[in-house]
Amino acid sequence: MLLIRSAVAGAVQRNDIFVRIAPAAAGEGIRISLQSPVAAQFGQAIAATIRAPLADLGIDDAAVEVEDQGALDFAIRARVVAAVRRARGDCGDVS
């Protein structure tokens, strides 16, 4: 499934995560830029939690920028799904 535009979801506040997703050229794969106060300890786990819903939604190529403020896994997944739906145009112009 292709992304047609850039989109965002979430907020930069405690226990939340801000996700910005943008289309990438075919074959570029998923590029994740992560900013988090816990990146040294949990960066790989956060990246894996971001990649899982992208794979489930069939996204193979995207640039993802993330500002994490201690979000739990369910919040990370929800924000990624919301950003993808907005980037695909699945839910109207709410970005």
- 57 DSSP 8-state letter: T
Q: Indicate the pLDDT class of residue 78, thresholds 50, 70 and 90.
A: very high
Q: How many CA atoms lie within 13 A of 10 on its CB side?
A: 29
Report residue 65: phi and psi, to 5°.
-110, 130
Q: CB-hemisphere CA count at 13 Å for 12?
A: 9
pLDDT digits (tens, 9 = 90+) for 18-39: 999 999 999 999 999 999 999 9
pLDDT at 4: 92
pLDDT in tens, 42-72: 999 999 999 999 999 999 999 999 999 999 9
